[in-house]
Structure 1
Amino acid sequence: MRKAGVRVVQVGRAQRPGESFVHPAFLYRGDDEYRAGIVSFVLEGLAAGEPVAVAVPARRLELIRDTLGARAAEVRFTDMTAAGRNPGRIIPTVLRAFADAVAGDRRARIVGEPIWPGRTAEEYPACVQHEALINAAFQGRPVTILCPYDARALSAGTLADAHATHPLVVDAGRTTVSRAYDPQGVLERCNLPLPPPPRTVVVRFDAAGLPDTRDTAVHEARSRGMSAARLPDLALVVAELTTNSVVHGGGEGTFRLWAEGGRIVCEVRDSGRLTDPLAGRRPARPEQIGGRGLLLVHRLADLVRTHTGEHGTVTRACLDLR
């Protein structure tokens, strides 16, 4: 029997090699509709000879694997709760990593579920920014990325954001053009000042003070309970953010660090303005010299939030204590 989600496959069926990027949101209600829509989308891609990847939360992965049976071996599976814990690393390390490995002009087909029930209020704006930025990151490329949304469990505001970040929406078996599609408006709306930091460690730095700033960060994080295994990650994050301020943010900046909710939060403020919303979200080219700092920060941190404007840029990187 055809379930409500199976018409998702029509989005893929309309594409031919070399055509441009397609980015539908798939609103599902319950496991049956989820399984029907995603599996049909995957099987049609395999039948067309398209490389297929599925990056969704672990429980959903098992649902898809079990339904695909032997054909699951032809699909790349990724647990999005791990790979996409920080939404800022999904484009370079999950989506682009798969699409860039596809040979020739073949269309790549990806299921990516970055927003699921349980995402925190702190993580959510970064998730919405990610969904908006996918459109710019893949513009003109022969890739289809289907993004499932749990229409029963997610809020009305989240579903409205899905319409704003996806040019196509699949709902109850129908694929329609989203009249609310406005990714640039979403990015502007999400670029809000971050909540004020608590009273904490403050270091003002310039080029000469970079090593001392990094050492102070490691010392303070250790004293707040960060495990030895995570301290090298924190040192790299602080080094990259502060160096970025010196090179691109006016030559100096202010560093803050505090512990919050089982995490260490590192904040760097400078007078520069971030004009490229995809900075840190593009994979580095093999021949590229430099330009990997924000990419590394996104890869190592569990969450990255940024606010930029006329008066400068604030970047916060959160790393779990353990």
Structure 2
Amino acid sequence: MSVIETHHAREHSRAFRHEALLYAGHREFLDGTVPFIREGLACDEPTLVVVDAVKITALRAALGGDADRVHFADMAHVGRNPARIIPRWRQFVDEHLHADRPVRGIGEPIWAGRGAAELVECQAHETLLNVAFADSHAWSLLCPYDIEALAPDVVDEARRSHPVVVRHGTRRRSRDYLHAHPSPARLDHPLPPAPAHAEPTAFATGTHVLRMLRAHVQRHAEDYGLDRDATDNLMLAVNEVATNSLRHGGGQGTIRLWCEGDAVVCEISDAGQLRGHPLLGRQRPTLDQAGGRGLWLANQLCDLVQIRSTPAGTTVRLHVATGA
């Protein structure tokens, strides 16, 4: 039995188990993940591991012939946009989880190379996992955090978003866990201001307004070096988000574009407020769903989508990498 109280372990056997693995370096990563995988294989539990390509290679070597019984996916692909990770877990759970057969997974969405904006959305993802699978049959997800490579405040945030923390093989209840959104990941947490040179352009309901917006985006995207496919993706995402502004944001809004690092950023703001589910844009829409497709599609088309909504209005920032 682990250090966690017996009644707490029984509680987690009936619910989604979301744990942070704190490790330092390659050896500790393997020491923390390989036994977790083997424990699941011993119980014939389907297992999905979503980490980077280097770690996948190391895990395959450590598992030997058992590696063929494990599903692997590269987090650099699955989690390029952090909003796509929950749908991947949902797909795996829906395909393999049954009341009488748990599943388990390992997912490392946060690494030292993540940019500041990506990091906050990854932290939102970690918190929203607790919402997405609150009513699920029991399954286990272990989220590794490299405490040598990550800043201390990032590790502190992991303690707030994971009910249980694992270190050197010992599982402990996190005293800092918050079921509500941790501060950096809140929907009403303000985004950094747009650069001064990114002047706003207003748009409003009218003839051909969406076509004019797409042309506006195309001109700027090409000037900033986006290729044809990336430009098309951004134009389509803007079309979806601007349509939401016209329908639900008072029939008008503003658009800004700028280049930030190796990405083109397009910001759309309006006076509306988002009152939907916290997983809006992170759940695949159903065929009979009335709304929510626009933000879902934006997340499939863009490398990062930031959504913030306050009484003053809603802002959506779309990031598309230039490939530079």
Q: CA deviation at 1:286?
A: 4.3
Name 1:114's counterpart in structure 2. Answer: 109
CA contact (8 A) 1:203 1:213 kept: no
Asked if 1:44 corresponds to 2:39, the answer is: yes
SS, match of residue 154 in structure 2 = helix
The one-character-per-residue Cα deviations of 1:127-153 (angstroms, maximum 9, x if unpaired) are: 111111110011021221110011222
Give the distance between the partners of 1:49 and 1:173, measured in 2 at CA: 22
Shift of the 70–79 alpha-carbon distance from structure 1 to 2, 3 Å rule, reads same
- Which structure 2 segments of 5+ residues have no match? none
Pairs within 5 Å for 1:95-114: 95-102=89-96, 104-105=98-99, 106-114=101-109
Question: Which TM-score applies when normalising by structure 1?
Answer: 0.90
**1:11-26 counterparts in 2 under 5 A?**
19-26=14-21
**Is the 1:201–1:256 contact (alpha carbons within 8 Å) kept by the matching residues of 2?**
yes
Equivalent-residue separation in structure 2 for 1:102 and 1:203 (angstroms): 48
Q: Give the % identical residues.
A: 41
Question: Partners of 1:150 and 1:213 in 2: how far apart?
Answer: 43
**Which residue does the alignment assign to 2:202?**
204
Asked if the contact 2:202–2:252 (Cα under 8 Å) also holds between the matched residues in 1, the reply is yes
* 2:182 aligned to which of 167, 183, 186: 186
Q: 1:21 to 1:164 in 2, by over 3 A?
A: same
CA distance in 2, matches of 1:120, 1:252: 31
Within a 5 Å distance, the mapping from 1:58-97 to structure 2 comes to 58-92=53-87, 94-97=88-91
CA distance in 1, matches of 2:271, 2:283: 24
Structure 1 pair 39–319 and aligned structure 2 pair: CA distance change class (3 A): same
Equivalent in 111, 136, 149 of residue 131 of structure 2: 136
Query: Kindly tell me: are residues 119 and 314 of structure 1, through their superposed partners in 2, closer, same or farther at Cα, counting changes over 3 Å?
Result: same
Letter in 1 for 2:45: E
Q: Which moved more, 1:165-174 or 1:104-113?
A: 104-113
> How much is the aligned-residue C-alpha RMSD, in angstroms?
2.4
Distance, in Å, in 1 between the alignment partners of 2:29 and 2:63 is 13
**Partner residue, 2:171:** 175
Q: Is the 8 A contact 2:183 2:189 kept in 1?
A: no
Please give the TM-score of this superposition, normalised by the length of structure 2. Answer: 0.89
Question: In the alignment, is the contact (CA less than 8 A) between 1:132 and 1:166 conserved in 2?
Answer: yes
Amino acid at match of 2:96: V
> How far 1:290 moved relative to its partner?
4.4
In 1, the alpha carbon distance for the partners of 2:194 and 2:255 equals 11
Write out per-residue CA displacement over residues 268-291 of structure 1, whole angstroms, 9 at most, x where no aligned residue.
Answer: 101112233210011222444542
Asked whether the equivalents of residues 201 and 258 of structure 1 are also in contact (C-alpha less than 8 Å), the reply is no
CA distance in 2, matches of 1:201, 1:225: 19
| Equivalent position amino acid for 2:155 in 1 | L
Equivalence for 2:250: 250
